[in-house]
Amino acid sequence: MKVSIIGYGEMAKAILLGMKNSGWNMQEVEVVGRDENKLKKLANEIGCKYNLIDGYDISKKVVILAIKPYALQEVSMRIKGEAEVLISILAGKPLIELQKYIKAKSYIRAMPNIAAKYGASTTAITGDIEAKEIAFEILSKIGDVIWLNSDDEIDMATAIIGSGPAFLAIIAEAISDGGVYIGLKREVANKLTQGLFKSFAALKEEFPEIKNKVMSPKGTTAEGIYELEKEGVRGKIIKGVVKTYEKSKKI
């Protein structure tokens, strides 16, 4: 199967690394973009082929679109042909818009995240049922894949899966800052915070019961939880998710 990825940014690189690490034959993969130096650098790093975007023929290929959402129209004018399958990871670009700009036999919209490079993305997808199998085959190389039933659900998933790593990064930084505030050296606070997230990942199946297992009557955790709730942390996080979803409707 010939796979082309249009774009060589953070996500394109993460997907390519995930595919490579899964044992995918990278000689069958081509990275496509407008800057030859950037293309060459990434293709060398990954061990795949590369091609400039102007006049690029997407026919008979599975194309992963990994450019900025605002560049969709411009990119569509630079390529030709009809892809076998188009898999777009663009935030906020519904299937109907993809169909308007890029020709393909079938379409998939996917929302992965940056952990794709470790094979640890969770990728939400939707689209044409006939492309479901091929999309699962490729995207399962970068982590778990979850089929959703509409564009709107992908926009909602964007607020959790796509943007979520940045939200958790803020929480991680704040926890480490708290550690420094009470007297830990920064490197110790960071190391403990990294350890915390590793522990949390191991507990994921116990979610949402984790808090209740840690918070005991009159305990230290209860004291911290009371303060966080008093400050409205939960409401702020919910609002962050809502605003992200709303923004994805305006791209």
Ligand X SMILES: NC(=O)c1ccc[n+]([C@@H]2O[C@H](COP(=O)([O-])OP(=O)(O)OC[C@H]3O[C@@H](n4cnc5c(N)ncnc54)[C@H](OP(=O)(O)O)[C@@H]3O)[C@@H](O)[C@H]2O)c1
Q: Which residues bind ligand X (CB under 6 A)?
A: 7-12, 33-35, 38, 53, 66-69, 71, 74-75, 89-91, 111-114, 162
Compute the distance between CA of residue 25 and CA of residue 48 in angstroms, rounded to an integer. 9
The alpha carbon torsion through 180, 159, 22, 94 (nearest 10 deg) reads -160
Residues 34, 56 contacting (CB under 8 angstroms): no
Q: What angle, rounded to 10 degrees, do the helices at 164-181 and 233-248 form?
A: 150
Residues 249, 92 contacting (CB under 8 angstroms): yes
Residue (33 or 127) nearer to ligand X, CB: 33
Q: Please, what is the minimum distance in Å from the beta carbon of residue 125 to ligand X?
A: 12
Which residue has its beta carbon closest to ligand X? 9
Residues 193, 186 contacting (CB under 8 angstroms): no
Q: Please, what is the minimum distance in Å from the beta carbon of residue 121 to ligand X?
A: 9
Residue (73 or 216) nearer to ligand X, CB: 73
Q: Please, what is the minimum distance in Å from the beta carbon of residue 130 to ligand X?
A: 24
HSE-up of residue 9 (Cα within 13 Å, Cβ side): 13
Residue (122 or 176) nearer to ligand X, CB: 122
Q: Please, what is the minimum distance in Å from the beta carbon of residue 245 to ligand X?
A: 14
Residue (113 or 193) nearer to ligand X, CB: 113
